[in-house]
Amino acid sequence: MKTAVAIYHVAFEDAGTLQPVLEERGYYVTYLQAGRDDLAPAREADLVLVLGGPIGIYELDRYPFLKDELKLIEAVMNKGTPVIGICLGAQALAAVLAARVYPGAEKEIGWSALHLTDEGKASPLAALDGLPVLHWHGDIFDLPAGATRLAATDITPTQAFSFGPNVLALQFHVELPARDIERWLIGHTVELANAHIDLAQMRADTARYAPAVNAASRTLVDAWLDALPHG
């Protein structure tokens, strides 16, 4: 059986809807917690997910474990291991590829549609065309050299990129099942209060949009896996 390792930073931001897709495709999914667990087992995985979290990937002085995490991500990328990065994970991929990661002009929290590039429309992200997705970030990143921009929003120029066939970075969230929104609202309560986010609206939008995005996320991951060089 193939192995997939999901590196997570907070317990409630897990692989969500992506995990059953991977399991159906023959992957045994395990989790490693950044900052607590030894991440070395990810070096031998057949696929790596790097998930989100409420810290900056550039905050190396505040969170020294990030240095080892970035080294690990660089190692698996150099090995040719397929990697998907979501939110903080996407920022980590950008940082490993020597792109600048920095605070955006404003936080982007809530459901809104992506603007897919022509390359994005020809990629697995085509499954998301026209669908509002969940944004939940304050940091943004420049497009790494050699990467392909797949999506943007009005305030975030690079919402997704690919780097060759094996690396996919998603600044936004497609993995959150609607039933789990309360975990996020509780876990991010301080950020949400400071950003004056209407929780009732967030709940309503999640109930409205998450089911279609959850279904599209399965299509997206299936298509991405199909396009990997090793199948």
Interval 176-193: pLDDT, tens:
999 999 999 999 999 999
3-state secondary structure of 197: coil
How many alpha carbons lie under 13 Å from residue 224 in its C-beta half-sphere?
28
* Model confidence pLDDT, tens digit, residues 66-98: 999 999 999 999 999 999 999 999 999 999 999
pLDDT at 5: 98
What local confidence, expressed as pLDDT, does residue 125 receive? 98
- pLDDT for residue 231: 52
Per-residue pLDDT at 172:
98
| pLDDT for residue 209 | 98
Give the strand pairing for 47-50 and 83-86: parallel
**Predicted TM-score of the model (pTM):** 0.96
d(CA 31, CA 37): 9
Q: Which domains does the chain have, with CATH numbers?
A: 2-227 (3.40.50.880)
**Angle at 114 (CA atoms; ends 112, 120), nearest 5 degrees:** 160
Tell me which residues of the chain have a pLDDT lower than 50: none
pLDDT in the model for residue 228: 95
